[in-house]
Structure 1
Amino acid sequence: MDHIDKEIVKELQLNAKISMKELAEVVHLSSPAVIERVRKLEEQQVIVGYHAHIDFKKIDRHISAIILFESKDCKALTNFCHNHPDVLECYRVAGEISYIVKLATHSVESLEKFIDASMPYGTPSTNIVLSSHEKNVIEPFPVED
């Protein structure tokens, strides 16, 4: 990736709905040149998708939590989480904790139901999120000469 590709990736992270014409103006290239670069970045799977960022509170998901598991059966826990509507992300990790789940739900009661339903798969440790900060732009590593 050269500096123009990096700028394209940065701009698309800031606004995935930017038009190719506007993107071309920002990076000082023609629209066809930008379209070709974006296509190549997609083919190389540098860009793997375009997403809408949702405000969970506006869709009645006021409680966010990170749940750490000492899992007895990671595959079963993975399946359980994959099929649970409140789960946003899940990670199998190495160490004392074997699984991390991020979820957004509508109430403390629904969080309790998730915890109860997940207990056959391991021992959960629940952390309710009070506030958060999420990076919207990830800078690629510098190009090495």
Structure 2
Amino acid sequence: MDEIDKKIVRILQLNAKISMKELAEVVHLSSPSVIERVRKLEEQQIIEGYHAHVALKKMNRPICAIVLFESKDCKALSNFCHNHPDVLECYRVAGAISYIVKLATYSVESLEQFIDDSMQYGTPSTNIVLSSHERKIIDPFTLEEE
């Protein structure tokens, strides 16, 4: 990735709905050049997709929690999480904890139901999220030459 590609990726992370014409103006290239660069970034899977970021509270999901699992059956827990409507993210990790699950649900009671339903797959430890910060812009990691 050259500096123009990095700038294109940064701008698209800020506003994925920007037109190719506007993007071309910002990076000082022609529209066909920018379209080709974006296509190559997509082909290289640097750009994996374009998504709408929604407000969980306005989607009637005000309770967000992180649940850590010591799993008895990793595959079954993974399947349970992938099919549960409240699960936003699920990570299999190494160490004493085998899974980390992020979920958003509509009530403390529905969180309790998730915990009860998941206990057959392992021992959960639940942490309710009080506040959070999500990095919106991801820059490529580059090593400085010495």
Provide the TM-score with structure 2 as the length reference.
0.97
Q: Report the CA distance between 1:4 and its aligned residue.
A: 0.4
Structure 1, residues 12-58: CA drift from partner, whole Å, max 9, x if none?
Answer: 11111010011111111111100000000001111110000010000
Residue number in structure 2 paired with 1:17? 17
CA distance in 2, matches of 1:127, 1:133: 16
Equivalent pair of 1:2/1:143 in contact (CA under 8 Å)? no
CA distance in 2, matches of 1:5, 1:18: 15
- In the alignment, residue 115 of structure 1 is paired with which amino acid? I
Written as runs of structure 1 = structure 2, the 5 A alignment for 1:76-115 is: 76-115=76-115
Gaps of 5+ in 1: none
CA distance in 2, matches of 1:136, 1:28: 24
Residue number in structure 1 paired with 2:131? 131
CA distance in 2, matches of 1:60, 1:93: 29
CA distance in 2, matches of 1:21, 1:124: 50
4+ residue runs of structure 1 moved beyond 4 angstroms?
none
Structure 1, residues 111-134: CA drift from partner, whole Å, max 9, x if none?
Answer: 000000000000000000000000
Give the aligned length: 145
CA distance in 2, matches of 1:144, 1:36: 29
CA distance in 2, matches of 1:143, 1:127: 36
Gaps of 5+ in 2: none
Residue number in structure 1 paired with 2:36? 36
CA distance in 2, matches of 1:25, 1:143: 30
Residue number in structure 2 paired with 1:56? 56
> Measured at CA, do residues 42 and 82 of structure 1 come closer, stay the same or move farther in structure 2, by a change above 3 Å?
same
Q: Determine whether 1:142 maps to 2:142.
A: yes
Written as runs of structure 1 = structure 2, the 5 A alignment for 1:2-13 is: 2-13=2-13
Q: Report the CA distance between 1:108 and its aligned residue.
A: 0.2
Q: Over aligned residues, Cα RMSD in angstroms? A: 1.1
- In the alignment, residue 51 of structure 1 is paired with which amino acid? H
Identity of aligned residues (%): 81
- In the alignment, residue 52 of structure 1 is paired with which amino acid? A
Say which SS state the counterpart of residue 111 (structure 1) adopts: helix
Q: Report the CA distance between 1:80 and its aligned residue.
A: 0.2
